[in-house]
Amino acid sequence: AMRMLTGSCYISPTGQFLLYLPLQVGYENANRFLLYLPLQVGYENANRFLLYLPLQVGYENAGTVEFLVDKHGKHYFIEVNSRLQVEHTVTEEVTDVDLVHAQLRVCEGRSLPELGLTQETIRVNGCAIQCRVTTEDPARGFQPDTGRLEVFRSGEGMGIRLDSASAFPGAVISPHYDSLLVKVIASGKDMSTAAAKMHRALSEFRVRGVKTNIPFLQNVLSNHQFLHSTVDTQFIDENQNLFIMKPVQNRAQKLLHYLGHVMVNGPTTPIPVKAKPSSIDPVIPTVPMGEPSLGFRDVLLREGPEGFAKAVRAHPGLLFMDTTFRDAHQSLLATRVRTHDLKKIAPYVSHNFNNLFSLENWGGATFDVAMRFLYECPWKRLQELRTLVPNVPFQMLLRGANAVGYTNYPDNAVFKFCEVAKENGMDIFRVFDSLNYLPNMILGMEAAGRAGGVVEAAISYTGDVSDPMRQKYSLAYYVKLTEELMKAGTHVLCIKDMAGLLKPESSRILISALRDRYPDVPIHVHTHDTAGAGVAAMLACAEAGADVVDVAVDSMAGMTSQPSMGAMVACTKGTKLDTGIALEKVFDYSEYWEVTRGLYAPFDCTATMKSGNADVYENEIPGGQYTNLHFQAHSMGLGNKFKQVKKSYSEANKLLGDLIKVTPSSKIVGDLAQFMVQNNLTREEVCGGKADELSFPLSVVEFLQGHIGIPVYDGCLPSPPSQVLKSLPRIEGRPGATLPPLDFDALEAGLRLLHGDDITQEDVMSAAMYPKVFQEYKEFTGSFGPVDCLSTRLFLDGPKIAEEFQVEIERGKTLHIKALAVGDLNKTGQRGVFFELNGQLRSVLVKDNVAMKEMKFHPKALKSVRGQVGAPMPGKVIEVKVEPGQKVEKGQPLCVLSAMKMETVVNSPLTGVVTVIHVDTDNSLEGDDLILEITAEE
């Protein structure tokens, strides 16, 4: 191994000469030296070597000699640079000599002794290190990065010298010039002191808009071998951990990009109605100091699921599950309530409603909506709420073998999901199947039980057990299904009335029958208040023996949501069903949500729907779906035809054999209903001979194939299913039973390749449930940062000009932001948006989506599509080495790019055939511009 050395000398026209200290190159990349430090002893031969060649050729002026030296002290000449090199600053710091100034004075005719420069006066004082801060990406072979410096703040202080290039906010780093931003020189009494000062200074740098080599330099400065022993040309090869760099968070600038994007282009999440979020901030009720009182979760942790069930059954009054944190806003506000607003009120719930049976706050549609529309992690919601509410059991909705998705998953994915959910704070798993298909339900129950959770088997209710004419879903059907679930080992039995079909009489009939047969099992009833009879029905259930009923706080109750908490508290007060909840606490809780609901005005169902409707007893549309269909009808200009939509839903249900309607079976009925309305089809036409001529919705076809299980009766379409399926196969038995196990290790490895090493088991589960949604969520947060830290109004509508606000990005770190202005449109279709961040001016360039529609831009390579090859760096295309139709092997060169005196060969990421080439020679590309596309070899 060799050591790379460079040394400075000065030879005057009169033959006087000086030798300065040799310097070691601590690291050299393909083209540039990055880090320098002095060699203080043991290199006397190097001094003689420095002078030999310049004196032999009659060289005058300052110069720099570069050479290698091996472990035996033998020197190998490389070159002489007839100037001072960039590393001369280190020599100046340790010798206290201004080399450039001295050079100019000699040119004016001064001698070296006149300047006080003799060999005897050259002394080494301490140690100095120089780092070149460049716009290069160490993770990609130090490829140069280009772009606009959005932020540039240097680190300074005692013992730090900066020799800067063109580094300032707004500076454009071009691919045609050197990538140097600034030379940082740290000096101290010894090596460790200088290194510590340099590390501190680099950590204070803030460079945004381009990648830099700072994380790599910090790793070098922390390396034990670098600090305490010999470093040679094999240093990098032997220390590959130097490339394991802590990601730069850049949260503040990313949030400014998001806010700027919303100010220029409007909301990033789809908005159903043209209503603005309220400008009134909710007032959080007072929360007492100290720990909250014990609740049922303390019983669960102490006595386990069986002991918990006994305690619930032994409780003298009526218990509530509060749905405000999930199903209430899913029914009224399109599932759009953010963790930001849930966290504010969570401590109040913990302190004042500790006797709740459970708080429903997770699962169902909230899981994918969190990532898809709110750009926040559903697991983080669970974790943060668990910290804030330690005493009330959490409950989630688990779609049996479908977990929290809309498709079938391998069995091990469902088991792993429940395990991770339990680890993150979930307590009660309410397990259902949209068809009450026992094999699917039992799998979900087994997964929840094995994870250590409370298993609550939920029977989806439809029909009317009080109507003797409706025999398909009779009392006998529900009793028999309950018997099977009890055999499967449920801890709690739930009646899930998702459309609000339970009337007081049917409630008494059903609950009394179940209570008589199973006196020891807790019974929990879930309903919706669409018809307006929810309070009466739940009181009837409680009187018949139900232990728990579902409610939502008053301002989030009624219509397609759950019955009112306040009404239920008042109606049971002073009776044997007394809940023990103080009404004044409910009022404060409701006031918070009344104001908070105004923030979600763009999603509020009351924009189009002004009341519930008892016709739900006829059409049987579930609460959340009722709201969605109403929104859709009005958005499509069919508001005056919503009655027809509901009628078609009822007909579609009958066509499919009178299904139990809950996600995903309810969507299948809805899809068929919309299909019938759009194609002006009657029930008779679908029933007749037209079935084999129609192109049915995919969800209907897959249902008939058996993708979601087997209905209670195999009625389906009155036409034989074969007319719809044609040659498509049918699934026999439980759909997920034949799926191969999911390889979690392979999935995690793939995610790390795409998103880096900061991948958790929660991320893996999110990707397992929703691969495409998770990918889009990671890309969004990678560009715009932790938008879940923003208030809801800012998230949806952005700030007003001159508005000042605060954003807490973590405990103890608060950003103070003021929106200043939005600039005019430039020639590239962008607008400058100006902010004040923590007292300093910041600006971002935002693409105007309206203007961009009229402009043409080079397409970008999608990271999620393996066959799309993008430019690894900005630069010019020097050569394209392949042609369309050509077969290429993995690693084969595809093209050559050039930027900043550096050529990069772009290799094929896979074996396959080149299908499309998007570039030509001499094209200038930006980073990630699409070069070509490859179809993988099968």
Residue positions annotated with a catalytic role: 83
- Cα–Cα distance measured from residue 634 to residue 309, given in angstroms and rounded to the nearest whole number: 45
Strands 151-153 and 454-460: what pairing? unpaired
Q: What angle do CA 519, 523, 528 make, to 5 degrees?
A: 150
Positive or negative, the Cα torsion across 529, 531, 532, 534?
Answer: negative
Half-sphere exposure of 882 (CA within 13 A, CB side): 27
Structure tokens at 698: 């995919």
Query: For 347, phi and psi rounded to 5 degrees?
Result: -60, -35
Calculate the CA 895 to chain-centre distance: 34
Contact criterion met (CB below 8 Å) for 60 and 11: yes
- Cα–Cα distance measured from residue 748 to residue 759, given in angstroms and rounded to the nearest whole number: 7
Residue 319, beta-bridge partner list = 548
Structure tokens at 811: 């405990």
Which residues in 794-823 are b (16+ Cβ under 10 Å) and which e? Answer: bbbbbbeeeeebebebeeeeebebbbbebe
- Cα–Cα distance measured from residue 33 to residue 16, given in angstroms and rounded to the nearest whole number: 30
Structure tokens at 89: 């600053």
Contact criterion met (CB below 8 Å) for 593 and 329: no
Contact criterion met (CB below 8 Å) for 21 and 38: yes
* Cis preceding-peptide flag for 270 (omega within 30 of 0): no
Contact criterion met (CB below 8 Å) for 511 and 525: yes
User: Euclidean distance between the first and final Cα of the chain, in Å?
Assistant: 45
Contact criterion met (CB below 8 Å) for 768 and 413: yes
- Cα–Cα distance measured from residue 25 to residue 362, given in angstroms and rounded to the nearest whole number: 56
Structure tokens at 774: 């998770």
- Tally Cβ neighbours within 10 Å of residue 867: 19
- Cα–Cα distance measured from residue 118 to residue 113, given in angstroms and rounded to the nearest whole number: 6
Structure tokens at 70: 């091996």
Estimate the crossing angle of helix 665-678 against helix 698-705, to 10 degrees.
130
Q: Identify which of 502, 497, 494 has the alpha carbon closest to the alpha carbon of residue 522.
A: 494
- Tally Cβ neighbours within 10 Å of residue 442: 22
CA-to-CA separations, 223 to 193, 231, 764, in angstroms, rounded: 14, 11, 32
- Tally Cβ neighbours within 10 Å of residue 884: 11
Positive or negative, the Cα torsion across 694, 700, 706, 711?
Answer: negative
Structure tokens at 753: 């390749």
Strands 454-460 and 492-496: what pairing? parallel
| DSSP annotation of 402 | G
Question: By three-state DSSP, how is residue 474 classified?
Answer: coil
Calculate the CA 630 to chain-centre distance: 30
Location of structure tokens 């893996």? 764
Calculate the CA 452 to chain-centre distance: 28
